[in-house]
Amino acid sequence: MAETTTTGAAPAAAGQKAGAGVLVSRRRRRFSLLTRHDKLILGLMVGIPLAFDLALIWGPTLASVVLSFTNWDGIGSVTAQNFIGVKNYENLFGSYLFFRPALYHNIIWLAFLTLVATPLGIFLAVLLDREIRGTRIYQSIFFIPVVLPLVVVGFIWELQYAPTDGFINNALGLVKSHHIIDWLGNPNINLLAAVVAASWRHVGYVMVLYLAGLKSVDPSLREAAKVDGATERQTFFWVVFPVMAPINVIIVVITTIESLRAFDIAYIINRGKNGLELLSTLITNNSISEASLVGFGSAIAVVLLTISLVPIVTFLVSVNRNPT
Amino acid sequence: MGNKPPFGPSALDLDLSRRDVLKIMGYSSVAAFLAACSSGTTSGGSTTSTGGTVTVGSNASDPLPKKGMEMVNAAFTKANGGTVVKLNTVDHGTFQDQITSYLQGTPEDVFTWFSGHRMRFFADKGLVSSIDDVWDKVKSNFTDAFATSVKGNDGHFYGIPVDYYPWAVFYRKSVFADKGYKVPTTWDAFKALCVQMQKDGLTPLAMGDKDGWPAQGTFDILNLRLNGYDFHVELLTGKQKFTDPRVANVFSKWAEIAPYYNDGLAGMTWQQAAQLLVQKKAGMYVLGLFVSQQFASASAADLADLDFFAFPDLGTQYDAEKALDAPIDVVMMTKKSPTLSKERGQANAYLQFWSKGSTQLIASTAAPGVIPVANDTDTSGYDALTKKAVEIIKNAKRITQFFDRDSRPDFAGPNGMQSFLLSYLQSPKGNITSLQGKMQQFWDSLPPEA
């Protein structure tokens, strides 16, 4: 839909440039360009996705918000008796033991992806952009994890981390010397273990995005910088990086969203407990499980939605600003 | 995962007296019980049909139990005029997580489930069909204790018990013989054995609690031995508080054996921990009889080497109860299955078929680790392990199902008791009072169970 608005806005902008006097007549002509058939097609192209969007995204979202004020257990229909006001939120912010750890873990996840994984992906992209020998092979290797679903990534890393029969402890000789590191079970390190697994995939993702961006940077900019006597580092940080602003925004948004929706790996490891609590696993464990605390789970979902709106709105604002 | 889990509140008691029944009925009121006594006459004869089809939703997703289910279905097809059984096997854990929406959506005609509290819950909600007509025909094949285990709060019957299994302390006979270990019957002997095993280079106790529920078995047995059946059941249903000093007692006793667990217990599944026992790296393992599946997969010799003993006495008045967890599996009939009205006859026949000892034997032979419950089961082929398992359950005066079946699922789950026990195992000598406070605080924050 963003597509439609942008293309629609372009002729209007052109009209404005042409001068206010002819604006009215131009508008009329623009409309007359559309036949009835065109309008029908346009209506369908906008209407069908819009209907899906309303039914599949806005509907469930609003339903979650409504359910968050109930104590519905998922059985039968929601009745007036189910409405309990803001009690779920009081409980969530007041006494629920797992909310604060989950929030911290999401923040740690975000911090690690932002400070370690994303810069590493960018670094790899810059290296590979220099046309070193075998660049395509490296690209493929780093990109392969991106093709895998996170669930599979979770399984792969679970096998690496397993205490006695996992690869890491055996490779380090820890199983033989009876000094097992409990990567998955020690609540002080299992979050780090999980986020490393997530980074394994994230690095490749960022690398590919950034590499595509780097390829589109005008080579004359670099040449000009070189002529001016800039070092490689200076060229990257003062010339290339600022030019890449649109890609940078996308990467920041993707990193944030990846951290907020982090779920699969923690859930596969131990269903998000014992140091791996995340907002998403709390939602699942409360509402889509035998516990059936649908109302309470929805309240957590609404909190996560509210947090997610921050990067989403930032992204939309920046995208809508860019075309002009 | 491969857990063989946990069921509802105890309804199985083999030394059954009228008083016991009342006690055991835990959740149901006396009125419901009395109503139950007079309700047996409501049903007419069940109608069974041959041929056609019947659909079955199964949580038997591990290889051996799955094979057992398929063998039973094949036998049913043969015995019931070619009735086609459409089997839908769902991963055990997933099946459990989605049970509420499953039963409300378009479930199969018949499904596998657990007896007790969670069975009665869905019966109360009207999501499962009562099968009084079938039960009337087959009830002579079950003891009263099993009958109680499939009776709803309304006095109607909702399931056919198909198997059960005890929780105990498992070990390898050859290891005990080689090292000259004796089966400990007291707490001190048990601890002394742990010390000795450690000296001999063994991990005394195996534990794999990544999935969160295995440690609940140890909590159950310690609480039963220390504080008795009544307290345990009341604690798990909210009539006693987790801040009770008696609960603190459980954790301080537990702390005496916690140092003898293997490293990495919070990162290992029960199957991975069982491998420590299979490979003779660990000496003992507190788990359900289903641990034998891991031995069966290893080799017949390994399976023959597996043995167990009852959890040792703790020197309290409750030792005499000989209580233990012995969960019962059942097959039940859904209510919302779109095909049920058409296939009710076949579904009835299918449930009847499961009530036979010969059927239950097919399943338990394919997947060792469970014991048939029907009276007419041919027990002559039982191996020593199964015979002993039958015996230990017979000796128990009180039987519970398992923590996460005797308690409400939102309390027992991953962001609940499973988390609390994992953090306990992280530092068994840590601040227990604060942990108990968290448990009670969490219980109090849950909405009333409808």
pLDDT (tens digit, 9 = 90+) per residue, B349-401? 999 999 999 999 999 999 888 999 999 999 998 999 999 999 999 888 888 99
Q: Is B210 within 8 Å of A185 when comparing Cβ atoms?
A: yes
Kindly report the CATH number that applies to the domain delimited by B167-324+408-445.
3.40.190.10
N- to C-terminal Cα separation, chain B: 29
Give A237's DSSP letter: I
Share of residues in chain B with pLDDT > 90 (%): 74
Residue A273, domain extent: 98-321
**Is the minimum CB–CB distance between A142 and chain B shorter than 8 Å?**
no
- The nearest CA of chain A is from the CA of B186 a distance in Å of 30
Number of Cβ within 10 Å of residue B9's Cβ equals: 26
The mean per-residue pLDDT over the stretch B116-136 comes to 90
A34 part of a folded domain? no
**Nearest chain A residue (CA) to B423:** A274
Distance CA A254, CA A202 (A): 10
Residues in contact with B241: Cβ distance below 8 Å, sequence separation at least 6, in sequence order: B235, B247, B440
Kindly report the CATH number that applies to the domain delimited by B18-165+327-394.
3.40.190.10
**Nearest chain B residue (CA) to A297:** B410
Mutate which of B3, B59, B415 to test chain A, going by most A C-beta atoms within 10 A? B415
Please determine whether the domains at B18-165+327-394 and B167-324+408-445 fall in the same fold group of CATH: yes
A306 part of a folded domain? yes
**Residue ranges of chain A whose pLDDT lies below 50:** 1-23, 25, 324
- Say if residue B294's pLDDT is above 90: yes
Q: How many residues does chain B have?
A: 450
**Is the minimum CB–CB distance between A178 and chain B shorter than 8 Å?**
yes
Instruction: Outline where DSSP puts E strands in B276-335.
Output: 282-288, 306-309, 324-325, 328-333
Q: Is A271 within 8 Å of B276 when comparing Cβ atoms?
A: no
- The nearest CA of chain A is from the CA of B269 a distance in Å of 9
Residue B31: the pLDDT is 39
- Pick B97's closest partner by Cβ from A290, A293, A295: A290
Residue A176: the pLDDT is 84
Q: Is B210 within 8 Å of A270 when comparing Cβ atoms?
A: yes
Q: Is A92 helix (H, G, I), strand (E, B) or coil?
A: helix
Q: Is B99 within 8 Å of A290 when comparing Cβ atoms?
A: yes
Residue B42: the pLDDT is 34
B295 — pLDDT class (breaks 50, 70, 90):
very high
- Say if residue B116's pLDDT is above 80: no
For residue B372, CA distances in Å to B79, B93, B329, B359 come to 20, 23, 10, 9
**Rounded (to 5) percent helix, strand, coil in chain A:** 75, 0, 25
- The nearest CA of chain A is from the CA of B276 a distance in Å of 9
| Identity of the residue numbered B289 | L
A53 part of a folded domain? no
CB B274 within 8 A of CB B203: no
- The nearest CA of chain A is from the CA of B237 a distance in Å of 15
CB B436 within 8 A of CB B37: no
Which residues of chain B lie closer than 8 angstroms to A271, CB-CB?
A: 211-212, 414
- Pick B445's closest partner by Cβ from A95, A180, A282: A95
- Dihedral, CA atoms, A105, A107, A110, A116, nearest 10 degrees? -80
A16 part of a folded domain? no
- The nearest CA of chain B is from the CA of A144 a distance in Å of 27
Residue B27: the pLDDT is 39
**Is the minimum CB–CB distance between A132 and chain B shorter than 8 Å?**
no
Give B46's DSSP letter: P
The mean per-residue pLDDT over the stretch B206-223 comes to 96
- Pick B263's closest partner by Cβ from A76, A180, A271: A180
- Say if residue B16's pLDDT is above 80: no
Average pLDDT, chain B: 88
Q: Is A271 within 8 Å of B212 when comparing Cβ atoms?
A: yes
**Which of A55-59, A87-91, B93-97, B330-334 has the lowest average pLDDT?**
B93-97
B46 — pLDDT class (breaks 50, 70, 90):
low
- Say if residue B414's pLDDT is above 80: yes
CA R_g for chain B: 21
Share of residues in chain B with pLDDT > 70 (%): 90
Residue A134: the pLDDT is 86
Digit-coded pLDDT (tens) for A37-52: 988 999 999 999 999 9
A29 part of a folded domain? no
A51 part of a folded domain? no
- The nearest CA of chain A is from the CA of B423 a distance in Å of 7
- Say if residue B12's pLDDT is above 60: no
A182 part of a folded domain? yes
Residue B113: the pLDDT is 95
A57 token code pair: 């995204």
Burial bucket for residue A216 (CB in 10 Å: 0-12, 13-18, 19+): exposed
**Is the minimum CB–CB distance between B264 and chain A shorter than 8 Å?**
yes
Query: What does the domain layout of chain B look like in residue ranges?
Result: 18-165+327-394, 167-324+408-445
Could you tell me how many CB contacts below 8 A there are between chain A and chain B? 123
**Is the minimum CB–CB distance between B263 and chain A shorter than 8 Å?**
yes
Is pLDDT larger for residue B87 or for residue A250? Answer: B87
Burial B213-251 (b: 16+ CB within 10 A, else e): bbbbbbbbbbbbbbbbbebbbbbbbbebebebebbebbb
- Pick B266's closest partner by Cβ from A178, A185, A286: A185
As for how many domains chain A has, the answer is 1
- The nearest CA of chain B is from the CA of A279 a distance in Å of 12
Provide the edge-to-edge strand list for the sheet that holds B203-206. Answer: B203-206, B282-288, B167-172, B306-309
Distance CA A163, CA A179 (A): 10
Q: Nearest CA to B402 among B2, B119, B8?
A: B8
**Nearest chain A residue (CA) to B422:** A274
Which residues of chain A lie closer than 8 angstroms to B264, CB-CB?
A: 163-164, 180-182, 185
- The nearest CA of chain A is from the CA of B97 a distance in Å of 4
Give the CATH number, domain containing residue A194.
Answer: 1.10.3720.10
Residue A28: the pLDDT is 52
Q: Is B267 within 8 Å of A98 when comparing Cβ atoms?
A: no
B236 — pLDDT class (breaks 50, 70, 90):
very high
- Pick B268's closest partner by Cβ from A98, A163, A289: A163
**Is the minimum CB–CB distance between B217 and chain A shorter than 8 Å?**
no
